[in-house]
Amino acid sequence: MTLRRRAALALAAGAATGCATAQPVPAMPVGIDGAGLHQRAAAKGLAFGAAVSTRQLVDPAMESLIRAECGLLVAEYEMKWAELEPQAGDRRFRRADILVAFARRHGMALRGHTLVWHESEPAWLGGLDARATAAAMAVHVDATVRHWRGAIGTWDVVNEAVAPEDGRPDWLRRTPLLERLGPDHIALAFHLAHTADPAARLAYNDFGCEHATFWSRRRRVGVLALLRGLLRAGVPVHVLGMQAHLQAGQPFEAREWRGFLAEVAALGLTIEVTELDVNDAALPAAVAARDQAAAALVRRFLDATLAEPAVRAVVAWGLSDRDSWVRQGRLPEHRRRDGTQARPLPFDEALRRKPMWAAIAGALDAAPVRG
Ligand code: XIL
């Protein structure tokens, strides 16, 4: 029996026993063979991919890992407004073009991330009045979507617009664009993107909805209210992107989560997991136990998520721990008190498969085939 066949059986056995309860995910022998995540996803009519950056493409080992595991790519930051237009009117598509060319050369789909996000607005926008701001946003959305017209399958048009804690009656985030242009700038961005590329699917993308906590529940209510309002107004929204930055240590209830996904699907939207990773700061330092716990959470989350037929893609926010944004320590909750490095993604620093890889593989193998 070949190694490949033995590995496939081992993974299948792992998939068979790794049911939705918190079963330990089988430890992955280093370098075990086995079909890549993209192939497993495609066998079910799903897409699997990852966020990548152009600097990763110059690393031969990473480039071949991306090609082995991904059928879909998204730019970690090269397509964000602040990167695309550092000075007003000075549009710079070249770096993201490298990524788009790589994906197209290797037959990979692309997500566009993200046209309007309060954390990636160019600094010069702050000096404009409302009229000039609206014009700048309109030109940015139109020029960007037109530049990659036909290449981007789904655009994250607006990212993270819900923030109940900001105290507005509509639970929208008090962003500079919202303060200056009002909530209608959200609908405007979607209409502009649709006009620029009528074939692109347009997504609203957000985070923090996944767990069985008051905070997540409130965010789910806010996201649903936003989606319903946009759809009632005839805004071309086709996809809900759920970032799925999972928090180890926070409760996850499959039934509750599936109920939310069913409500979204009932609106006629498809759903994409857009930024999957695990913040393991609350887990013990011991690597084996930490990896197993993170993998078990991912398996439970994906088993519940992929049971919803409207879910069509799973994108990890990176492939290897070494590139994870969690290690940047931007957010206080990402910082481990013991000073050890976070392990949020399916591959370790040496690009070896971790138990989280087996968890994703098992969930994809167990997922129902999409029509
Ligand atoms: C992050 C990138 O991963 C970092 O490299 C960058 O410094 C900041 O942005 N939600 C999002 C992503 O939608 O765009 C963010 O990506 C992570 C949170």
Give the mutation target among 116, 277, 317 for probing the ligand 1 site: most ligand atoms within 8 A of CB.
Answer: 317
**Which pLDDT band, with edges at 50, 70 and 90, does 11 fall under?**
very low
Q: Which residues of 252-284 are buried (b: 16+ CB within 10 A; e: fewer)?
A: bebebbeebbeebbeeebbbbbbbbbbbbbebe
The predicted structure's pLDDT at residue 371: 82
Start-to-end C-alpha separation, the chain: 34
Higher pLDDT, 230 or 29: 230
**pLDDT 10s digits, 221-244:** 999 999 999 999 999 999 999 999
Average pLDDT value for the chain: 92
User: Closest Cα to atom 17, ligand 1: which residue?
Assistant: 325
- Per residue in 173-227, pLDDT tens? 999 999 999 999 999 999 999 999 999 999 999 999 999 999 999 999 999 999 9
- For the segment 245-277, what is each residue's pLDDT rounded down to a tens digit? 999 999 999 999 999 999 999 999 999 999 999
Give, using CA atoms, the residue closest to atom 1 of ligand 1.
Answer: 325
Model pLDDT, residue 13: 40
The rounded Å distance from CA 318 to ligand 1 centre is 11
Say if ligand 1 is within 6 A of residue 124 CB: no
Between 98 and 329, name the one with better pLDDT: 98
Pocket test for ligand 1, best of 76, 155, 245 (most atoms within 8 A of CB): 76
**How many Å apart are CA 274 and CA 76, to the nearest integer?**
11
- Beta-ladder partners of 74: 51, 111
What local confidence, expressed as pLDDT, does residue 17 receive?
A: 35
Please choose from 53, 56, 77, 209 the residue to mutate so as to test ligand 1's pocket, defined by most ligand atoms within 8 A of CB. Answer: 77
Check pocket membership of 159 for ligand 1, CB cut-off 6 A: yes
Residue 76 Cβ inside 6 Å of ligand 1? The answer reads: yes
Atom of ligand 1 nearest to the CA of 160: 13
CA of 39 to the centre of ligand 1 (A): 26
Q: Is 77 in the pocket of ligand 1 (CB under 6 A)?
A: yes
Give nearest CA residue, ligand 1 atom 7: 325
Decide whether any atom of ligand 1 lies within 6 Å of the 243 Cβ: yes
What fold, for 3-12+36-366? TIM Barrel (3.20.20)
The pLDDT of residue 15 is 37
| Tokens 């930055």 sit on residue | 245
Q: Which atom of ligand 1 is nearest to the CA of 77?
A: 2
8 Å CB contact between 240 and 269: yes
Percent of the chain predicted with pLDDT > 70: 91
Say if ligand 1 is within 6 A of residue 279 CB: no
Please name the residue whose Cα sits nearest to atom 16 of ligand 1.
76
For position 34, what pLDDT does the model report? 77
pLDDT greater than 80 at residue 32: no
Instruction: Work out the average pLDDT over 29-58.
Output: 87
Ligand 1 centroid to Cα of residue 77, in Å, is 7
pLDDT above 60: residue 21: no
CA 4 to centroid of ligand 1, rounded, Å: 36
Q: Can you tell me the distance from the alpha carbon of 366 to that of 16, in angstroms, rounded to the nearest whole number?
A: 8
**135 CB neighbour count, 10 Å cutoff:** 11
Q: Which of 82-86, 129-133, 326-330 has the lowest mean pLDDT?
A: 326-330
Task: Give residue 12's pLDDT.
Answer: 41
- pLDDT value at 134 more than 70: yes
Contacts of 44 (CB under 8 A, 6+ apart): 306, 364, 367, 368, 369, 370
Q: How confident is the model at residue 9 (pLDDT cuts 50, 70, 90)?
A: very low
